Chain A
């Protein structure tokens, strides 16, 4: 069964089947079956990677919208103990450490006492597209849907640190959420940014996503937004900010989420890099959203090719498209920029002349000349940005 047939089947069998609780399915016998769709609380049907803790992927067709709907935004947690109930009467964002005035702020106080900002920004999982690395690497086997673009509204971290009054000599700022480890031996999921980065005015604490409260599994009630940087820094259900007079250190920074200290984080499976650094800002990439891979196109019929492209905030300046497997390239049309941290839509018109197989490719370039990889590998499956190939049939 192809993907479209599967999706139709899901639609025909109804929502109840996909969303029923306590359902036990024998997935072991279906390791190579089509991706299963599930509905989690406050979410629409998403592609199931894992259910506990949840990792849910967005179907590509949602990226035909500039802003990814909250209910369709991808989900990725590390620790089993994710928050499932938050009482806003007692919830506080605690700000402490190397500050003169520690703070305990309610969501209401954040909304009423600080000047809000809104930023449209892409959030992308470090491991988005991991399943395309060869040789395959262990980890969340994402296709291209561990990414989304949303309008985030909240308070710059700078405003909060200013109110807390930094002591001199602040080095890093750590961010902790409400999620808790299942065993005492598992490190709590805490991430940190340099003090200068945290105070850049763009790094913010969002209480709204696309003008609505965040879904619980996307970080209700507060989420750190780190525009242009990978999702691992976007701490969900943010509850504690700690200013540090020394460099931050923990498992999730020292051992996890590291990339080879080499161009585009690439290394060879036969010669793993010894020098690694924490993953940081997005590289340049683009993703096709039209046509569907299993769409049958007709010779002589105009076909719209469409995709999205983004980088870490320099801005996408050019997207080239090939319909012959990379032999010839033509410039795609770029939609107007809707924000420097947003993705940018591109379109190309194509009239396939003959029946047969065609290989579509797209290559994005940003304002500082960074472009996409021809090949790439690293042991963790991070930062995939290989020029995408989509094989379509004209018949």
Chain B
């Protein structure tokens, strides 16, 4: 793991790193050796000599209305992903939302009890649910 993370900064934990942007420098080792155009242009693309390439991620998260279950939702869900994972979905039935919450708990290990899962489900239904409690498609993984 140390090899994997050496010299790399992650966007974890909402920490926006306010450092200057720079493009990677590409060495001039290949120049003039009959290298295909791709690498020549790659070098020309360099905007800076810094070997450290850094970006600053924007934070653009929607505000959520008050309601029963909102606290559990914010504590358990938003720690790992933007609430846009909810707002981009169509209005789903309670059973679909419950399936999504249980997927987060069982497959991804979200720190929520069964009771909290129900409260979060009620909150998701209240802000983006479909009337009635009819059956809907269950979520799967990797989508």
- Residues of A whose CB lies within 8 Å of any CB of B are 19-28, 31, 38-42, 48-54, 78, 80-92, 94, 104, 107-108, 111-112, 116, 118, 126-127, 130-131, 135-141, 151, 153, 176, 178-180, 182-186, 207-208, 211-213, 216-217, 220-221, 232, 239-240, 251-252, 255-258, 269, 379-382
- The answer to whether A41 and B143 touch across the interface, beta carbons within 8 angstroms, is no
B63 CB, min distance to chain A CBs, angstroms: 5
B58: CB under 8 A from chain A? yes
Give the A-binding residues of B (Cβ under 8 A).
3-12, 14, 16-17, 19, 21, 23-27, 29-30, 35-39, 41-42, 45-46, 51-65, 79-82, 84-85, 87-92, 96, 99-100, 107-111, 127-128, 136-143
Q: Chain B nearest CB: distance from A236 CB in Å?
A: 13
Majority SS at the chain B contact face: loop
Chain A contact residues, majority secondary structure: loop
Partner of A138, one of B52, B63, B82, B143: B143
A85 to B8, CA, bound (A): 6
- In the bound complex, how far is the Cα of B46 from the Cα of A249, in angstroms? 39
**Known: A49-B84, A111-B26. Contact between A153 and B39, CB under 8 A?**
yes
Interface centre among B53, B100, B111 (most CB of A within 10 A): B53
Cross-chain contact B24 with A221 (CB below 8 angstroms): yes
Contact call B7/A51, Cβ cutoff below 8 A: no
In the assembled complex, the CB of B105 is this many whole angstroms from the nearest CB of chain A, namely 10
Q: Which residues of A contact B46 (CB under 8 A)?
A: 213
Q: How far is the CA of A266 from the CA of B136 in the complex (A)?
A: 18
A residues within 8 A CB of B56?
Answer: 21, 41, 84
Tell me, in angstroms, the Cα distance from A38 to B143 when the chains sit together: 22
Whether the Cβ atoms of A21 and B25 lie closer than 8 Å is: no
Q: Is the CB of B59 within 8 A of A91?
A: no
Beta-carbon nearest neighbor of A54 in chain B: B57
Asked if B52 contacts A41 (CB within 8 A), the reply is no
Of the candidates B65, B109, B141, which one forms a contact with A256 in the assembled complex, judged by CB atoms under 8 Å apart?
B141
Contact A24 B62, CB 8 Å, known A40-B57, A89-B51: yes
CB within 8 Å for A49 and B143 given contacts A28-B64, A86-B52, A178-B8: no
Say yes or no: A183 contacts B80, CB within 8 Å.
yes
A92: nearest residue on chain B (CB-CB)?
Answer: B3
Closest chain A residue to B55 by CB distance?
A41
Alpha-carbon distance between A25 and B38 when the two chains are bound, in angstroms? 41
B29→A80 contact, CB < 8 A = no
Task: Please give, as numbers and ranges, the residues of chain A lying within 8 Å of B36 by CB-CB distance.
Answer: 116, 118, 153
Cβ-defined contact, A84 with B17, below 8 A = yes
Nearest CB to that of A36 among chain B residues? B60
- Do A130 and B9 have beta carbons less than 8 Å apart? no
Contact of A81 (CB < 8 Å), options: B3, B11, B53, B54: B11
A51, A94, A212 pick with most chain B CB within 10 angstroms: A51
Question: Is A21 touching B59 in the complex (CB atoms < 8 A)?
Answer: yes
Indicate which residue in B11, B81, B84, B140 contacts A48 across the interface (CB closer than 8 Å). Answer: B84
Given contacts A90-B6, A251-B141, A256-B142, contact A26 B63 (CB under 8 A): yes
Contact between B62 and A26, CB atoms less than 8 A apart = yes
Query: A256 touching B88 by the CB < 8 A rule?
Result: no
What are the residues of chain B within 8 A of A28 when measuring CB–CB? Answer: 62-65, 87, 127-128
Q: Are A135 and B136 in contact (CB under 8 A)?
A: yes
Q: Which of B8, B27, B88, B140 contacts A112 (CB 8 A)?
A: B27
Q: What are 13 A-to-B residue pairs whose CB atoms are below 8 Å?
A: A31-B128, A52-B14, A87-B51, A88-B25, A89-B7, A108-B27, A118-B38, A136-B90, A138-B99, A140-B88, A179-B10, A186-B80, A239-B4
Residues of A within 8 A of B140 (CB): 137, 139, 256, 258, 379-380
